[in-house]
Amino acid sequence: MLVCGVDEAGRGSMLGPLVVAAIAIEKSKIPELEKIGVKDSKKLSPKTRETLYKKIIKIVDDYQISKATPKQIDLAVNQHKLNNLELIHMAKVITKLQPYVSYVDSCDVNATRFGKEIAKITHSKIKSYHHADSKFVVVSAASIIAKVTRDRAIASLAKKHPVGSGYPSDSKTVLFVKNWFLQNGKLPNYVRKSWAPSKLIMSQPLA
C-alpha cells in the first residue's frame, strides 16, 4: 500500500519560491524513515536535513516537488487565495504519485475542509491535519525534501546577492530588499511584492 506525505516550505518567506514536496512509500517501509532519524525539518539543522534528504530519496518509492513562484504567490495573495495556491500544488504532486492515502499538513484553519478540497481534485484518500509534519513520519520526510529544496534555491540567490534567509524576521533580508529598491526603484522578480514588509519598502519615497 503506497502512502504519501506532503508538506511545504517557504510560505512565510519574503522572497524565493514556496516549495511543496511529497514522498510516496510502501507502508511496510515507513519504519525505515524512523530508523534514520526523520522528524519535522524545523527541528533539524541544515546539515542534518541535507544528509537525511539523500537517505530519504533512496528509501522512498518516489517523490515529487512543485514550486510556486513569487509572481504566482503575489497573484494568489492579492486574490486572498494563498491557501488555494498551496492546495493546488499539493494536489499536483499527489496526482503524480497516485498513492492509496496521503497525509498532508493543512495550512487552512479548517484541516478537514482542506483535505476534502484536495480529495476533490485528486479523487483519492486524504488525511489532513495541523502540524502533520510533527505527527507523521511520512510528512516529516516530505518537510525535509521541501525545506532542502527551498534552502538550495535561497543559497543559489545568496551567491549573487546578500539575501539572508529570505524571511521578514531576518534584518539582513529586509535591508537587502530596501537597498535594492532605493537603488533600482523597483523590487527584483524573486521578491514577493504582496508581503507587508515589501509594501512598506515600496511606499517609501525614493531619494
Ranges of each domain in the chain? 2-158
Q: Helix 82-97 vs helix 111-122: angle between axes, to the nearest 10 degrees?
A: 50
How many other β-carbons are positioned within 10 Å of the β-carbon of residue 52?
22
What would the grid cell of residue 104 be? 498532508
pLDDT tens track for 43-95: 999 999 999 999 999 999 999 999 999 999 999 999 999 999 999 999 999 99
Question: For the whole model, what pTM was predicted?
Answer: 0.95
The model's confidence at residue 207, banded by pLDDT at 50, 70 and 90, is low
| CA gyration radius, the chain | 18
Contact call for residues 55 and 34 (beta carbons, < 8 A): no
CATH of 2-158, one of 3.40.50.1580, 3.30.420.10, 1.10.3720.10, 3.30.200.20: 3.30.420.10
